[in-house]
Amino acid sequence: MLRRLPLIEPPVLRMALVGRDARHWFRFSRVLGVSPIKSVMWFPVALAAAICARSAEMIGMYAALLSPKSTEHQARF
């Protein structure tokens, strides 16, 4: 089904991943010892960071898919 919707799949996937990151923020902030009030206050910053990180991840992924010859020597692990 997603192959039929190539323009909708990337934003939907990105927002699903951002939603998962947002949910994890409250769990990790508790582990870090951040108070619940500060956790809520820092939530917009965590959400913006998740959006930026997931967008960069997806841009890199689609760049590698669209032009594999250009990116084959850039990511070495």
Q: What is the pLDDT of residues 33-67, one digit of tens each?
A: 989 999 999 999 999 999 999 988 888 877 777 77
Q: Is the pLDDT of residue 5 over 70?
A: no
Q: Is the pLDDT of residue 2 over 90?
A: no
pTM: 0.70
Q: Is the pLDDT of residue 7 over 70?
A: no
Give every CB contact of residue 55 below 8 A, 6+ residues apart in sequence.
14
Q: What is the average pLDDT across 14-43?
A: 90
Inter-CA distances, 12 with 8, 9, 26, 54, Å: 6, 5, 22, 12
